[in-house]
Structure 1
Amino acid sequence: MTDSDGATAGDEGDRPEGAPELPADRDAVRDALVDWYAADHREFPWRRTEDPYEILVSEVMSQQTQLDRVVSAWEDFLDEWPTAAALAGADRADVVAFWSDHSLGYNNRAKYLHEAAGQVESEYDGAFPEDPDELSELMGVGPYTANALASFAFDNGDAVVDTNVKRVLYRAFDVPDDDDAFERVASRLMPAGESRVWNNAIMELGGVACGKKPRCDERGCPWREWCHAYQTGDFTAPDVPEQPSFEGSRRQFRGRIVRLLGDRDGMELDALGHRIRVDYAPDGEHGREWLRGLVDDLADDGLVEADAGEDGVVVSLRR
Structure 2
Amino acid sequence: MSEDDALPEDVEAVRSALVEWYEADHREFPWRRTTDPYEILVSEVMSQQTQLDRVVDAWAAFLDRWPTVEALAAADRSDVVGFWSDQRLGYNNRARYLHEAAGQVVDDFGGEWPETPAALQDLMGVGPYTANAVASFAFDNGDAVVDTNVKRVLYRAFGIPDDDAAFERAAGELMPDGESRVWNNAIMELGGVACRQRPRCDEEGCPWRRWCHAYETGDFTAPDVPTQPEFEGSRRQFRGRVVRVLGEHGALPLDELGPRIRVDYAPEGEYGREWLRGLLADLADDGLVEIEDGDDGAVARLGE
For residues 26-85 of structure 1, the C-alpha deviation after alignment (integer angstroms, 9 at most, x for no partner) is 000000000000000001000000000000000000001000000000000000000000
Partner amino acid, structure 2, of 1:174: G
CA distance in 2, matches of 1:104, 1:205: 25
CA distance in 2, matches of 1:239, 1:78: 34
Determine if contact 1:99/1:105 at 8 Å carries over to the other structure. yes
Give the SS at the match of 1:27. Answer: helix
Partner of 2:119 in structure 1? 134
CA distance in 2, matches of 1:224, 1:239: 20
Aligned pair 1:80/2:60, yes or no?
A: no
Give the SS at the match of 2:207. Answer: coil
Determine if contact 1:34/1:201 at 8 Å carries over to the other structure. yes
Partner of 1:58 in structure 2? 43
Aligned pair 1:170/2:155, yes or no?
A: yes
Partner amino acid, structure 1, of 2:133: A
CA distance in 1, matches of 2:34, 2:48: 19
Aligned pair 1:154/2:139, yes or no?
A: yes
Partner amino acid, structure 1, of 2:107: S
Partner of 1:98 in structure 2? 83
Partner of 1:304 in structure 2? none
**1:292-303 matched pairs, under 5 angstroms:** none
Return the match for 2:205 from 202, 205, 220: 220
Determine if contact 1:208/1:215 at 8 Å carries over to the other structure. yes
Return the match for 1:189 from 174, 177, 182: 174
Give the SS at the match of 2:110. Answer: coil
Partner of 1:244 in structure 2? none
CA distance in 1, matches of 2:33, 2:225: 30
Partner of 1:207 in structure 2? 192
Determine if contact 1:163/1:240 at 8 Å carries over to the other structure. no
Q: CA deviation at 1:240?
A: 7.2
Determine if contact 2:121/2:128 at 8 Å carries over to the other structure. yes
Aligned pair 1:198/2:166, yes or no?
A: no
Structure 2, unpaired ranges of 5+: 227-304
TM-score using structure 1 length: 0.70
Higher relative contact order (CA 8 A, sep 6+): 1
CA distance in 2, matches of 1:172, 1:95: 42
Determine if contact 2:150/2:187 at 8 Å carries over to the other structure. yes
Partner amino acid, structure 2, of 1:78: L
Partner amino acid, structure 1, of 2:101: A
TM-score using structure 2 length: 0.73
Q: CA deviation at 1:127?
A: 1.3
CA distance in 2, matches of 1:208, 1:130: 29
Determine if contact 1:208/1:219 at 8 Å carries over to the other structure. yes
Q: CA deviation at 1:237?
A: 1.1
For residues 162-208 of structure 1, the C-alpha deviation after alignment (integer angstroms, 9 at most, x for no partner) is 11100000100011111111000000000000000000000000000
Partner amino acid, structure 1, of 2:142: G
Partner amino acid, structure 1, of 2:218: G
CA distance in 2, matches of 1:206, 1:21: 19
Determine if contact 1:152/1:196 at 8 Å carries over to the other structure. yes
Structure with greater helix share of residues: 2
How many residues in Structure 1 have an aligned counterpart in Structure 2? 226
Determine if contact 2:6/2:159 at 8 Å carries over to the other structure. no
CA distance in 2, matches of 1:215, 1:21: 23
CA distance in 1, matches of 2:114, 2:105: 8
CA distance in 1, matches of 2:207, 2:174: 14
CA distance in 2, matches of 1:240, 1:116: 36
Q: CA deviation at 1:239?
A: 2.8
Partner of 1:110 in structure 2? 95
> Structure 1 residues 170 and 151 mapped into 2: Cα distance closer, same or farther (>3 Å)?
same
Partner amino acid, structure 2, of 1:127: E
Structure 1, unpaired ranges of 5+: 1-9, 242-319
CA distance in 2, matches of 1:209, 1:239: 15
Partner amino acid, structure 2, of 1:220: G
